[in-house]
Structure 1
Amino acid sequence: MKRINVDRARGLRRAMTDVERLLWRYLRNRHLSGWKFRRQHEVGHYIVDFVCAEAMLVVELDGGQHAELVDYDEHRTQYLHSMGYRVLRFWNNDVLANIESVLEVILEAVASPAPHPSPLPIGERGLGMPESEK
């Protein structure tokens, strides 16, 4: 699959906001309990702020402009969910005021198993007693 936003992602990495730089200091080089994060990375046709592909987790930082982009952000989140990603969103103020709590939430999310992106219908999940014990 051809990556269409490579140049744009590179530009965003060069022009990171102060809040993105702050969080990146804690996520880069596997600083967060060995989890690998990428910044300004293309996922589908979007560029996400941070992603841990192994945990299928996207971390988005929202500034004041996102108060006006609720519908766009919701559509984007639904798209990422359809691709199997979980999405965490933090307001810039939360990152600036309480980075430790933000990191704790991210660590809890990467450490917990992600649900399957398209679970089987109830009758096909294999829940309950194994066939041999029925």
Structure 2
Amino acid sequence: MSKIHNHKYLEERRKELRKNLTSAEAALWKYLKGKQLDGRKFRRQHSILNYIVDFYCASEKLIIELDGAYHLDFSQQNYDYERTQNLEKLGFKVIRFENKLIFENITDVLEKICSCFKN
């Protein structure tokens, strides 16, 4: 299989997104960085194919996406669905959370993420 991770042409965009995390991404990153969550290493703004995912754990093939109001738009929902299907066909597990959940119930979010670990 050809290289699907972190294509060079997306490098500047990934850096830009890492420098400008949304408040929800920044809040969740505090719990994911430095292998804090069950010893799993997460990357932020990692690219797979032409997609840049919010968070990625390679050992679990787990992708975490955070959705703000922008994702309520019908065409964006269709794009998100197609993107998720494409990533799942490659063997990745994709889980999504609404931004507000990060602030309202981080414990449940972290438990849901951990429930995806193979152990």
TM-score of the superposition, structure 2-length normalised? Answer: 0.90
2:57 alignment partner, one of 52, 56, 77? 52
RMSD value, Cα: 1.0
Cα deviations by residue, 1:14-60 (Å, 9 ceiling, x for unpaired): 00011100000000000001000000011111000000011000000
Aligned length: 112
Q: Which residue number corresponds to residue 116 of structure 1?
A: none
CA shift for structure 1 position 101: 0.4
Change (3 A) 1:76 1:25: same
Q: Which runs of 4+ in 1 moved over 3 A?
A: none
1:64 paired with 2:92, answer: no
| Partner SS, residue 51 of structure 1 | strand
Alignment-mate amino acid for residue 66 of structure 2: L
Alignment-mate amino acid for residue 80 of structure 2: D
CA shift for structure 1 position 4: 2.1
1:106 paired with 2:113, answer: yes
What are structure 2's unaligned runs of at least 5 residues?
none
Q: Quick one: distance in 1 between partners of 2:37 and 2:115? A: 11
Identical counterparts, % of pairs: 42
1:35 paired with 2:4, answer: no
Q: Quick one: distance in 2 between partners of 1:32 and 1:98? A: 16
- Whose helix proportion is higher, 1 or 2? 2
1:90 paired with 2:97, answer: yes
What are structure 1's unaligned runs of at least 5 residues?
113-134
Q: Whose Rg is larger?
A: 1
